[in-house]
Amino acid sequence: MKLLLVFMIAFSGIIAVQAQAKDEQFKPKISYANDGEKLTIKERKKLKSNEGYMERDLTRVNKDCGKVIPIVFDKKFVKPFMKANRSLTMCTTFAQGISHFCKDPDVKDTVLKAVEKVQCMYGETGKDPKFEVKNKTFLVTFGPNISNSWQKTKEWLENNL
């Protein structure tokens, strides 16, 4: 009986290690183009908080797609969003739009062949983001006032890929 218990504990430990290793392979890659602009202490804390939410959301996206889809913020992006007291997690919404298609086996390959990375760029676009796919990068330009970004992403990808 003790041997069976030891075996069960060892087996559950192996499963836990395998699950952790699998999660590591989908760990998000978030990067910021740096123009040398310094962030205040308050902005750095908010950025760190935002990163926690983004990592959670992007891990889910990466698992759905079966590969890591990096997120890149352009150098003009962080400060305006901090100033407007808006979350940088808005950028993950665009990756979630890709994830929606990764869940559909009929179109997953089409999307993953077209898009390997998401780049969020700052621009005053009103409530509508501007989309483009260039060199396998899903370029999204938007400002802090956008709305319905997930729906607009889904519609754009459906109509343009």
- In the chain, where are the structural domains located? 29-160
pLDDT bucket at 28, cuts 50 / 70 / 90: confident
pLDDT at 1: 53
Cα 37 from Cα 97, distance rounded (Å): 30
Arithmetic mean of pLDDT, 94-123: 91
Which has the minimum average pLDDT: 14-18, 117-121, 139-143? 14-18
What mean pLDDT value characterizes the chain?
81
Angle subtended by helix axes 90-102 and 149-160, to nearest 10: 40
158 vs 127, more confident: 158
Name 51's Cβ contacts closer than 8 Å, sequence gap at least 6.
30, 88
